[in-house]
């Protein structure tokens, strides 16, 4: 079965076409600058030169049409006809409390996603545009939605409620949701496989640290706490986001600096984190380069980033009464051996011991980087959210097909 995975943003759309026979990626690409005269379509096919086209793409319907033209192109496509696309899986950022797992799209699901627009005003409307665009271009093809929040719906009340008046939760569903769930879910499955132990026996802390960053306590396969909250601003220090801070800073700063709410929102989301402390960049590679040249602000940004992550690791060890495995993933987690070493340095009380040679190895493969006598196993697992979306979509579509054929057989028997 060929499954198209789509991550639709407001002005861009990323895609991957999977052949689920061996879970291989046939093509991947993106449409950027949707709504502009110079939209850019790119496509990569393993073993072939990359394709790039510039044309005017004014909306998501045309963007999906262009990507379908690309994958079924007679010269540089990978399928003969778009009829080969049997299902589409979408990444959706916010599933609120309604969606505890991935589901097939129907009218009710679409209505529920719309009702969550308030909680993710930048993301969910764009995802809906992607879903509608697929309906227009591939009528009748089943679509599934996979939510960033769903994996964290297992968090207990003590972890997901904020200590603020409960009426705010009742009226507006203000609570902690957590994000990056697809990634935390994927790497925890992979980690259990690598360790050769059942997931439901393990206590794990997964650190998804890229431009956005979050840390999750996964006990016996389910998320019991995670660092992001109502929005992806809470928790760890990130590239441009502050992470945790005293909420009183908001009114105090507004007052002292004569800022509006929107100014402060933008400050905390776009001008804080690594970029604010280093005064240089939100990109960890640039921070590490500057640090190597003796830049003290870059060093401070790095140290604060590590310090705040280590605090969460300590907290989640307490939450689970122990930890068996620590997992690093996403851009920084997968690539920065110096950051991993620094984070693990002060975890010796837990019995964390890295193997420096293994930690320094450059490979894209999932691997263990702890020493044989480390009480806590430390792993690096490249994340693959698209694959998990493709797998969930495949499962939902095949389950639906077999339930329909079961119903038909029952009908015949009767």
Give the tokens for residue 377: 């196993």
> Among 178, 239, 243, 273, which residue sits at the site for ligand AMP (rule: CB under 6 A)?
239
Nearer to ligand AMP, 95 or 239 (CB): 239
Among 336, 359, 384, 393, binds ligand AMP (CB under 6 A): 336
Which residues contact residue 73 at a Cβ distance below 8 angstroms, ignoring those fewer than 6 apart?
A: none
Q: Compute how many other C-beta atoms are within 10 angstroms of the C-beta atom of residue 161.
A: 14
Q: Output the smallest distance, CB 342 to ligand AMP, in A.
A: 12
Q: Which helix (H) or strand (E) holds 124?
A: helix 124-137
209 carries a ligand binding annotation: yes
Q: Which two tokens stand for residue 12?
A: 């861009």
269 is in an annotated binding site: no
User: Per CB under 6 A, which region of 151-159, 199-207, 242-250, 332-340 contacts ligand AMP?
Assistant: 332-340
Residue 288 makes contact with ligand AMP by CB under 6 A: yes
Instruction: Write the DSSP string, 29-79.
Output: EEEESTTEEEEEEEEE-TTSPPEEEEEEE-SHHHHHHHHHHHHT-TTT-SS
Give the residue ranges of DSSP H helices in 219-368.
Answer: 249-257, 261-270, 273-278, 284-292, 296-320, 330-335, 337-345, 356-360
Q: Is 91 annotated as a binding residue?
A: yes
Q: Sort 299 into a burial class: Cβ within 10 Å, 0-12 / 13-18 / 19+.
A: middle
Q: Tokens for 331?
A: 């851009």
Stretch that binds ligand AMP, among 31-39, 256-264, 328-336, 347-355 (CB under 6 A): 328-336
Is 284 a binding residue for ligand AMP by CB under 6 A? The answer is yes
89 is in an annotated binding site: no
Binding mask 92-131 for ligand AMP (x = CB under 6 A): ----------------------------------------
Which positions from 181 through 210 interact with ligand AMP, judged by CB under 6 A? 210
| d(C-alpha 365, C-alpha 368), whole Å | 10
What's the rounded Cα separation, in Å, for the pair 75 and 12? 25
To ligand AMP, the closest distance from the beta carbon of 16 in angstroms equals: 15
Residue closer to ligand AMP (CB basis): 224 or 378? 378
| Number of chain positions touching ligand AMP (CB under 6 A) | 12
- 8/339 with CB nearer ligand AMP: 339
Query: CB 287 → ligand AMP: shortest distance, Å?
Result: 8
Q: Is 211 annotated as a binding residue?
A: yes
Instruction: Tell me which residues are annotated as active site.
Output: 148
Give me the sign of the Cα torsion angle 249, 251, 256, 257: positive
Chain residues 161-180 in contact with ligand AMP, contact rule CB under 6 A: none
- Using CB under 6 A as the binding rule, whether residue 283 contacts ligand AMP is answered as yes
Q: Which two tokens stand for residue 375?
A: 């009480």
Q: Which of 91, 96, 103 is nearest to 128 (CA)?
A: 91
For residue 193, the minimal CB distance to ligand AMP (Å) is: 22
Q: Quick check: 285 binds ligand AMP (CB under 6 A)?
A: yes
> What crossing angle do the helices spanning 296-320 and 337-345 adopt, rounded to 10°?
60
Cβ-closest position to ligand AMP: 331
Place of tokens 């193997």: 355
Beta-ladder partners of 217: 205, 225
Closer to ligand AMP at the Cβ: 94 or 180? Answer: 180
304 a known binding residue? no
Residues 6+ apart with CB under 8 A from 32: 11, 12, 39, 40, 41, 42
Find the angle CA(350)-CA(208)-CA(333) to the nearest 5 degrees.
75
Pairwise CA distance, residues 61 & 131, whole Å: 9
The answer to whether residue 276 forms part of the interface with ligand AMP (CB under 6 A) is: no
Report whether 283 belongs to an annotated binding site: yes
In whole angstroms, the minimum distance from the beta carbon of 274 to ligand AMP comes to 7
- Shortest Å, Cβ 178 to ligand AMP: 17
As measured in angstroms, the least distance from the Cβ of 360 to ligand AMP is 12
SS3 15: strand
Query: Which residues are documented as binding site for Mg(2+)?
Result: 7, 385
Residues at the annotated binding site? Answer: 7, 14, 91, 208-212, 283-285, 331-335, 385
Binding-site residues from annotation for substrate: 91
Contact residues: ligand AMP, CB under 6 A: 210-211, 239, 283-285, 288, 330-332, 335-336
Known binding residues for ATP: 14, 208-212, 283-285, 331-335
């Amino acid at each position: 079965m060929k499954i198209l995975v789509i991550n639709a943003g407001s002005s861009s759309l990323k895609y991957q076409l999977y052949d689920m026979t061996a879970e291989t990626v046939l093509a991947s690409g993106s449409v950027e600058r949707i709504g502009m005269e110079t939209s850019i379509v790119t496509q990569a096919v393993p073993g072939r030169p990359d394709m790039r086209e510039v044309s005017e793409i004014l909306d998501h319907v045309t963007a999906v049409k262009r990507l379908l033209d690309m994958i079924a192109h007679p010269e540089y496509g990978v399928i003969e006809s778009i009829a080969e696309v049997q299902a589409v899986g979408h990444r959706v950022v916010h599933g609120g409390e309604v969606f505890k797992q991935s589901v097939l799209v129907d009218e009710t699901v679409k209505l529920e996603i719309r009702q969550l627009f308030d909680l993710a005003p930048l993301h969910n409307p764009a995802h809906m545009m992607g879903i509608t665009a697929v309906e227009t271009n591939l009528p009748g093809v089943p679509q599934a939605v996979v939510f960033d929040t769903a994996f964290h719906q297992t968090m207990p009340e003590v972890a997901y409620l904020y200590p603020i008046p409960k009426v705010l939760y009742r009226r507006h569903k203000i609570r902690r949701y957590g994000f990056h769930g697809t990634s935390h879910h994927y790497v925890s499955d992979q980690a259990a496989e690598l360790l050769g132990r059942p997931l439901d026996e393990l206590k794990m802390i997964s650190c998804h640290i890229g431009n956005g960053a979050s840390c999750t306590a996964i006990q016996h396969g389910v998320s019991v706490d995670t660092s992001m909250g109502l929005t992806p601003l809470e928790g760890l220090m990130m590239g441009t986001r502050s992470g945790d801070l005293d909420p009183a800073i908001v009114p105090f700063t507004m007052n002292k600096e004569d800022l509006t709410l929107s100014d402060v929102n933008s400050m905390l989301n776009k001008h804080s984190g690594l970029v604010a402390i280093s005064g240089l960049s939100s990109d960890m590679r640039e921070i590490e380069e500057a640090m190597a040249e003796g830049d003290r602000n870059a060093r401070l940004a790095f140290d604060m980033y590590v310090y705040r992550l280590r605090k969460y690791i300590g907290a989640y060890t307490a939450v689970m009464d122990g930890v068996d495995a620590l997992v690093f993933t996403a851009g920084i987690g997968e690539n920065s051996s110096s950051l991993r070493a620094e984070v693990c340095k002060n975890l010796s009380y837990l019995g964390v011991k890295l193997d420096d040679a293994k930690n320094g190895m450059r490979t894209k493969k999932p691997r263990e980087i702890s020493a044989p006598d480390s009480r806590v196993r430390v792993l690096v697992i490249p994340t693959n959210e698209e694959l998990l979306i493709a797998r969930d979509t495949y499962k939902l579509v095949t389950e639906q097909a077999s339930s329909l054929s079961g119903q038909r057989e029952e009908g015949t028997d009767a």
